[in-house]
Amino acid sequence: MHQGYQRKRRRPVAEINVVPYIDVMLVLLIIFMVTAPIVTQGVKVDLPQGAAESLPADSKPPVVASIDAMGEYYLDVGSSSTKEVLELDEVAIRVGAIIQLEPERPVVVKADRSIPYEKVIQLMVTLQGAGVPSVGLMTDSPEDK
């Protein structure tokens, strides 16, 4: 053997390889960016504008009873938004069941501006008959010009 030659010992590397984790996070980010607009879909309603106080940030997501421009009723219950057309009595039954389970949950009416006032009042009376203590009206905030 050579005298000046010493064998170097290789120590194990104790570092975590984070490249696969970054790849997974980027894929998850893309998936969430694509699915977010799909999840927030609702019934297209042209809301009247008005300056009003918004719901408190710490409140539960409201139950939204909607009336579109054709006068058809829809229900949006936070996580499960349905695109199915409901009859007025079906709306009352479903909202009544939700209010029995969660009495503090806010209920709002989202009606198209072209709907006659009578249809909105009819929905509000039906919701109060289903056990809703108070019904709010949803509006768009006025645009600053």
Tokens for 10?
């290789």
The single-letter code of the amino acid at 143 is: E
Residue 28, pLDDT score: 93
- Residues (pLDDT < 70) of the chain are 1-7, 38-59, 78-83, 141-145
Residue 122, pLDDT score: 87
Q: Which residue segments constitute the domains of the chain, with CATH numbers given?
A: 63-138 (3.30.420.270)
The reply to whether the predicted model has a pTM over 0.85 is no
SS3 category, 126: helix
Residues 6+ positions from 109 with CB-CB distance below 8 Å: 64, 65, 66, 67, 120, 123, 124, 127, 135, 136, 137, 138
Residue 145, pLDDT score: 39
pLDDT in tens, 43-85: 565 655 655 556 555 567 788 888 888 888 888 876 655 567 7
